[in-house]
Amino acid sequence: MISVNKCLCGLMALFAIGMEMGIGIAHAQPQSTYPNKPIRLIVGFSTGGSADTVGRALAEGLSTRLGQPVVVENKAGANGNIAAELVARAAPDGYTLYFPSIGHAVNASLYKNLPFDSIKDFTAIGSVFSAPNMLVVPMNSPYKSVAEIIAAAKANPDKLTFASSGSGTSVHLSAVLFEKMAKIEMIHIPYKGTGSAMPDVISGQVDMSFPNLPSAVPQVKAGNLRGLAITTAKRSAAAPDMPTMAESGVPGYEMATWYGLVAPANLPKDIRNRLNKELQSILADPKFKDKLIMQGADPMPGTPEQFAAFIKSETEKWRKLIAQSQITID
C-alpha cells in the first residue's frame, strides 16, 4: 500500500507540474507565435495626405518582415482623437497599432475631458520620423530674413499677421513658439487647412505662415513664396540649403511634426520589442528613407523607452505653451 500511495503521489505531482507547464505554454504561445493573423494600423487622418502615405509605406514594410498583412485603417477626425480612442480601447495583443502624430501630445492640453490618457493608455513602440515646418513669406514681402521679421514685429506690436491651418495645429504652434521665444506679438489668422491659407499668404494678404515642408517646398521652388527658415533643430535632407530658426536668430527654437508607432497599454514586452526591431529595420531601408525625404521628413530611429520619454517631454512642452498662450479648441 505504501508503494502504491507513493506512486499515486508521484503521478499527481507530475500531473500538477505538467498542468503548470501546460498553462505556461498556453500563455506564452500567442506571444511566441506572434503574429498569426492580420494586423490593423490605425491612421488618424484621411487618405492621400503625408501621414497616410508614410503610414502605408510603414505597413508594407511591417507586412514583409512580420509575414502577415498589416492593413491601414483611416479614422480621421478631431486631430487624431477618434483613432486614439479606438486604439486605447483595443486589446493589447499586438494586432491593433496606432500611428500617432505630434497632435497626440498636443491634444492632451487642447481638448477637455478626453476619453483616454495620451500616455498611460498606450505602449510606445518607437518613433518613425520627424519633419520640419518652414517659415515662409510672400515673394513681394519686404522681409528677407527671420531677423527682419523680429525687428518689424518689435517696432510694430500686433501688426504683423500669420496664417495657420487651424488653432492648435503644428502650423499654429510653430508661430506661437516663435512669438514666445523672440518676444514678439503677432495676429493669428486661422484657416480651415493649409490649402485654404496658402493663397492668402502667396498674395500677400497675410504676412507669413509656417506650413509643413510638403506644402511649402513646391511653392518656394515655383517662386510663389520665399522660404526663410525651417523649424527643426537640424537642417532637413529635404531642404538642405534652408537654415534653421535657431541659426537664423532664435537660439534654442525647435518644432518638429513627428509620427511614431504605439499600441494599447500593457502590450507584452516581447511583442513590443519584436515590433521595434522590425521598425528599426524599416527605418534603415534606403527605399523607405527616400519616401520620407519625398515627404519632407527624416527617419527617427530609437528604442521604445526613448519614444515613451519623448512623448512625455512633448506633452509637457506643449502643455506649458498652450497654457501660456491660452489656446483653446471650441
Residue 1 has pLDDT above 50, yes or no: no
Q: Say yes or no: 141 and 113 in one domain.
A: no
Q: Say yes or no: 159 and 99 in one domain.
A: no
Q: Given pLDDT bands bounded at 50, 70 and 90, which one contains residue 314? A: very high
Q: Say yes or no: 141 and 126 in one domain.
A: no
Range of the domain at 267: 39-131+256-325
Q: Which pLDDT does position 165 carry in this prediction?
A: 86
Torsion angle (degrees, nearest 10) of CA 85, 131, 179, 317: 50
* Residues written for the chain: 330
Residue 289 has pLDDT above 60, yes or no: yes
Q: Say yes or no: 124 and 61 in one domain.
A: yes
Beta carbons of 97 and 275 less than 8 angstroms apart: yes
245-275: buried (b, 16+ CB within 10 Å) or exposed (e) per residue? bbbbbbeebbbbbbbbbbbbeebbeebbebb
Of the chain, the end-to-end C-alpha distance in Å amounts to 82
Residue 114 maps to a domain: yes
Q: Say yes or no: 261 and 114 in one domain.
A: yes
Q: Say yes or no: 55 and 124 in one domain.
A: yes
Q: What would the grid cell of residue 265 be?
A: 497599454
Residue 29 maps to a domain: no
Q: Amino acid letter at 104?
A: H
The bridge status of strand 122-132 relative to strand 256-264 is antiparallel
Of residues 54, 329, 323, the one with CA closest to residue 169: 329
Mean pLDDT of 170-184: 95
Q: Say yes or no: 120 and 262 in one domain.
A: yes
Nearest-angstrom CA–CA distance, 155 and 306: 42
Q: Say yes or no: 53 and 94 in one domain.
A: yes
Residue 241 maps to a domain: no
Please state the pTM of the whole predicted model: 0.81
Q: Which pLDDT does position 330 carry in this prediction?
A: 53
Residue 4 maps to a domain: no
The bridge status of strand 187-190 relative to strand 161-164 is parallel
- The neighbouring-strand residues paired with 187 are 161
Of residues 47, 26, 54, the one with CA closest to residue 260: 54
Q: Say yes or no: 276 and 307 in one domain.
A: yes
Residue 97 maps to a domain: yes
Number of domains in the chain: 2
Nearest-angstrom CA–CA distance, 202 and 136: 9
Q: What is the pLDDT of residues 202-236, one digit of tens each?
A: 999 999 999 988 889 889 999 999 999 999 999 99
- CATH number of the domain encompassing residue 110: 3.40.190.150
HSE of 82, CA atoms in CB hemisphere, 13 A: 11
Residue 14 maps to a domain: no
Residue 238 maps to a domain: no
Q: Say yes or no: 116 and 183 in one domain.
A: no
- CATH number of the domain encompassing residue 210: 3.40.190.10
Q: What is the pLDDT of residues 61-113, one digit of tens each?
A: 999 999 999 999 999 888 899 999 999 999 999 999 999 999 999 999 999 88
195, 230, 265: which is the final residue of a domain? 230
